[in-house]
Amino acid sequence: MCGIVGYIGERQAVDVLVNGLKRLEYRGYDSAGLSIISDSNLITYKKQGKVADLETIIEGKNHRSNIGIAHTRWATHGAPSDVNAHPHRDNSGRISIVHNGIIENYGLLKKALIKRGYSFHTETDTEVLAVLIGAFYEQTKNLELSVRKALSEVVGTFGLLVLSLDEPDRIIAARRGSPMVLGIGDGEYIIASDATAIIQYTKQVIYLSDNEMAIVSKDNFATKTIDNIETNNQIHQIEFDLEELEKGGFEHFMLKEIHEQPYTIQNAYKGRLIADKGNVKLGGLRNVADKLRNAKRIIFTACGTSWHSALVGEYMLEQLAGVPVEVEYASEFRYRNPVLYPDDIVFAISQSGETADTLAAVYEAKQKGCTVLGIVNVVGSSIARETEAGIYIHAGPEIGVASTKAFTSQVMVLALVALYLGRMKNLSQLDGKRIASEIIQLPDKINQILARCEDIKQIAKKYIYAKNILYLGRGYNFPVALEGALKLKEISYIHAEGYPAAEMKHGPIALIDENMPVVFIATKDEIYHKIISNIEEVRARGGKVIAIATEGDTQIKQFANDVFYIPETLPMLTPILSVVPLQLLAYFFAKELGRPIDQPRNLAKSVTVE
C-alpha cells in the first residue's frame, strides 16, 4: 500500500516523480505529494485526491530540480486530506520524508517529542518519524546517522525516503516490512516501492532487504544495515516490459487483464508441463522434492483472492496426491499459536509477494522449523526471498486492484503442483497425460468465453437493480463462488456473499426473494444433481437464478432465468474457466454503475500494512 518514488540524476525530477506516481497509483490514491530541492529551497506540494489533482497545482511552476521524493497515499493514520498527505517535514522544515507502513509506537514517540518542545500539525504517524529524524539531526548534523538513530527507536514497518536541504545531493532510503527497490540507471537512480515506477528508465534493480538502508547520490550508492554494516546486493533484471503497464486499447486495466488470461495461463505452465509423459518439471522445487514427497501435511497460507486460489489447491492436492491440506488465513495464522511440525510444508501464496500478513506467516512457520515455500508473481519480492524455494506464476504486472489473471495463474500453478506431487505418489501416467492434455486446451477455452463478453454484459444490465447477490457453488466451484462474490463487492460496491450451495439452507435462504439474484456455478460433475436441487430451492422462493453451466447442458435452462455456458473440462480445472464469466459480470456491473473500476474506494493493490 502507498506508492513511493524518489529520483536523483540529470532529468527534471518533477517529471520523473509525477510519472512514477501515475505508475504507482494503484497502490493508493486518496492523496499525493512531492518534495524537491530547487534553487536552494525545499519545495513541497501535496493534495488530497488523485495524482491528476496534484498535477493541477504544480502545473506551470517550472521548478528546475534534479532530486526529489514523492508519494501516493492509502490512508492509515489520519483521514485523507491535504494536511495528512505526504511528504511530511520535521520542525525545521528542512527535512522531508515519504513513508509506507505503520509506526506502531508513534503515540509514545510523539508524547516524548512534545515534552521536548516539538510540535505537530497532522494526524499521521509519518510526521512523528519526520520530527524524530529532525531532532536527531539537530544533534548529529549527519542525515544518515540521524535516520539510523530514529529507525532504531521505531516499532513497526516502513518503506522510507528522506530528503534534506542541508545535504541536497543525496536521498536516504530504508525498509522494514515494506518493499523498496533501487533502480540503477546511467548517471541516475530511481528508488520506488514497486518496479513499475522504474522500468521506464532502467531494468537493473536492487531489492532492499528488511532493516537495510541505501544512501544514494547522483554518482553512486551504498547499502548497509540500519546497524551500519555494509551489505553487498545482487543486481536483478526486471522481467516485464513497459508495454505491459499500458492499457493496450482496453478501457480499463481490469478488462485488459481478464483478456490476458489465455496468455498468462499458458505462461504459467510453459516449460513446466511434460504433456507426453503426464509429468511436471518445477525447477523452483527441485531442492525440496524429497521433502514434498514425504510430507504428511501441507499448509497454504494466504489472504483475499490468494486464499480462494489456495482453497482450490487444497481440493487438487488432496485428490491427486492424497496429502492432507489445510488452508489458513495469514492474518489469523500469525496471531495464534498454530500447531506446526518440522515435516510440514507451508506454501505462502501472494500476488505481490509483499502481503504483510502472509510475510509474517512465513516468518512464523520458519520459526517453527517448517519448510516454507512461496507461490508469488513479483520476482525479487520479499516472500520470494524469504522462502526456501518456490514457484513464480509469471502473470506479469497486474495493475487493476481487483485481481483477475493472478487468481487463474495461481490456480494453474497449484494444478501443476498437484500433478507434480501426484505423479511422485500414486497418480498413473495415463491420468497424468489426461490432465496435461486438458491443461493445454485451457487458453483456447478461455478465448471462447471471452468471445461472448456481450452475453455477460446483457446479464449485468438485467440485474443492475440488485442490492445483494448470492454466489453458490459446490466442490471445486465453492471457492469460485467466494471469488466471484469478492470481485463484485470490490468494484461495484454491491453486497455479495459466496457459500457452498448446500449451506444455503443453514441461513442464507432467509434472504432470498424476488429481488435477490443468485449466481450458481452449476457445471457438469459428479454432484451436478445436487446443485440442481439447490437451484430449485431458490426458485421455489422467487429468487432469480443466473447459472454458469457446461456447454451442451440443455437441462439447466429449465431451472435458471439466465445461463452462461463455458467449455467442458476436468472438474479440477473448471475454476480456471468458471471464474472468467464472474470476473466479467463484476466488471460490467461496475461499469453500468459508473464505478472507478481500476481504483475502487478504500482499496489498494498490495496490502503491505496490517
Instruction: Considering the candidates 50, 256, 544, 605, report the single residue annotated as catalytic.
Output: 605
Query: DSSP string spanning 396-416?
Result: ----SSS-SHHHHHHHHHHHH
Write out the E strands in 462-559.
468-473, 495-500, 517-522, 544-550
Those residues with Cβ within 8 angstroms of residue 42's Cβ, 6 or more apart along the chain or in another chain: 35, 36, 89, 93, 94, 96, 163, 164, 165
Residue 605 known to be catalytic: yes
The helices-and-strands tally (H runs, E runs) of the chain is 18, 26
How many Å separate Cα 196 from the centre of its chain?
A: 13
Rounded to whole angstroms, the Cα distance separating 604 from 241 reads 23
Do strands 562-566 and 31-38 pair parallel, antiparallel, or not at all (unpaired)? unpaired
Bridge partners, residue 328, by sequence:
301
CA distances from 32 to 79, 175, 177 (A): 13, 20, 22
Rounded to whole angstroms, the Cα distance separating 362 from 355 reads 11
Closest to 476 measured CA to CA, from 435, 424, 528, 402: 528
Bridge partners, residue 81, by sequence:
none
State the CB neighbour count (10 A cutoff) for residue 122: 17
Closest to 25 measured CA to CA, from 82, 70, 91: 70
Instruction: List the grid coordinates of 268.
Output: 504459467
Instruction: Considering the candidates 2, 47, 256, 303, report the single residue annotated as catalytic.
Output: 2
Q: Tell me the torsion sign for CA atoms 369, 375, 309, 332.
A: positive
Residue 2 known to be catalytic: yes
3-state helix/strand/coil string of 204-226: EEEECCCCEEEEEECCCEEEEEC
Rounded to whole angstroms, the Cα distance separating 259 from 447 reads 8
Q: H-helix or E-strand containing 192?
A: strand 189-192
For the purposes of burial, counting CB atoms within 10 Å of the CB of 30, is it exposed (0-12), middle (13-18) or buried (19 or more)? buried
Show which residues are catalytic.
2, 605
